Amino acid sequence: MDQLRFDGRVAIVTGAGGNPSLGRAHALLLAARGAHVVVNDIGELPAALGYPGIGSAQAVVDEIRAADGSAVADTHSVADEAGAAAIVQAAIDAFGRVDIVVNNAGVCRVVSFDDMTPADFRHTIEVNLMGTVQVCRAAWPHLKAQGYGRIVNIASGSMTGLAWQTAYAAAKGGVFSFTRALASEGVAHGIRANVVTPGALTRMVHAAQGPDSSFIAAAADGVLAPELVSPTIAVLAHEQCPVTGECIESIGGRVDRFYLARTPGFTDPAMTVETLAAHWDEVMAGAAPGISRHDESDPRQWSPRAYRPLSA
Ligand SMILES: NC(=O)c1ccc[n+]([C@@H]2O[C@H](COP(=O)([O-])OP(=O)(O)OC[C@H]3O[C@@H](n4cnc5c(N)ncnc54)[C@H](O)[C@@H]3O)[C@@H](O)[C@H]2O)c1
């Protein structure tokens, strides 16, 4: 098979300044395959988030240029409407167009529902969901006008119901549903929009899990390298992208389809409370294991870092 290339295409990858990080790996791969890339990241996160290291869009741009690739850095926040517009404008100013948007910027707080401050809940929605919406909104007129676009939005397996991630799960579930609806609107304009639920050992995971976490230990052997997720992004960002409105899970070299399902259910035109209660097993029957999952494990078994509210 010929190498899948992106020559002449312009890509935006948000939240791509971390190292190691998923966004950086995606930006490096797209650039290595010929795309001009806007590498976005706000940079150092508030210390309260506890992320180790600094996300630097410029550092990733330097890496791309050192490999003879083409990239510019952008440090606007996706959570800010004007910032999202500026990110897209950076692509237009530097490269004259935008073809690919990878909405990868995200924040994750691991904390019980009742301990999380409303401000942190809102912030999680603002970055993960509204950031994705706003960058899509800014890019959309350009994609529509040229009758072509590839959008890859990043959700998380947490959206199925991971404990201690109510805000993050809500935001990522929003990204999932938003993208499916957007994909429907994009069909008439040559725009394909898909979701990826990734998994990799990154600053975000290090921030969420303490150094003695079994997850970190299990991932330390390289099986969760961010670079193993990037081919999934590239296939969905390519001209030959085979799907739209889909959600693809990509973790450690395994790629699968993540989809909503409905059981055959129980029907009774004369439905009463008691009939329904008596037939509840039929409502639930027929769901394949793994399609609709939520985590019933006790999150206290994890080793999360201490929660520090943003406003503290
Ligand atoms: N690592 C995993 O296992 C995993 C699992 C599921 C989903 N994800 C998602 O993958 C994406 C990448 O995460 P990662 O694991 O590489 O972590 P990461 O922390 O390295 O990447 C997220 C980046 O987003 C940036 N960012 C935060 N707020 C921003 C804002 N307002 N504007 C612009 N940039 C902002 C951060 O500075 C950071 O560099 C995120 O959306 C995350 O939720 C990761």
**What is the predicted pLDDT for the residue at 1?**
82
Residue among 90, 96, 100 at smallest CA distance from 61: 90
- Which residues approach ligand 1 with their CB closer than 6 A? 14-15, 17-18, 21-23, 40-42, 45, 55, 77-79, 104-108, 127, 131, 154, 156, 198-200, 202-205
Task: Specify the ligand 1 atom closest to the Cα of 103.
Answer: 41
CB contact at 8 A, 157 and 175: no
DSSP string, 10-43: EEEETT---SS-HHHHHHHHHHHTT-EEEEE---
The active-site residue, picked from 51, 148, 168, 259, is: 168
Distance (angstroms) between ligand 1 centre and the Cα of 202 equals 9
Q: What is the CA radius of gyration of the chain?
A: 20
Segment-wise mean pLDDT, segments of 10 residues, the chain, 312 residues: 95 95 98 98 67 83 98 97 98 98 95 93 97 98 98 96 92 98 97 97 79 65 88 98 98 94 94 98 81 62 70 57
Q: Cα 57–130–251 angle (5° rounding)? A: 65
pLDDT on residue 45: 63
Cα 76 to averaged position of ligand 1 atoms, centre (Å): 14
**What does the alpha-carbon distance between residue 162 and residue 83 come to, in Å, rounded to a whole number?**
30
The pLDDT score that the predictor gives to residue 214 is 64
**What is the sign of the dihedral through the CA atoms of 293, 298, 301 and 304?**
positive
Q: How far is the CA of 158 from the centre of ligand 1 (A)?
A: 14
Distance 15 CA to ligand 1 centre (A): 6
- Sign (positive or negative) of CA dihedral 312, 115, 198, 244: negative
List, in order of start, the domains of the chain with CATH numbers.
10-260+292-301 (3.40.50.720)
**Among this protein's residues, is 259 annotated catalytic?**
no
Give the pTM. 0.94
Q: Whose CA is nearest to atom 25 of ligand 1?
A: 15
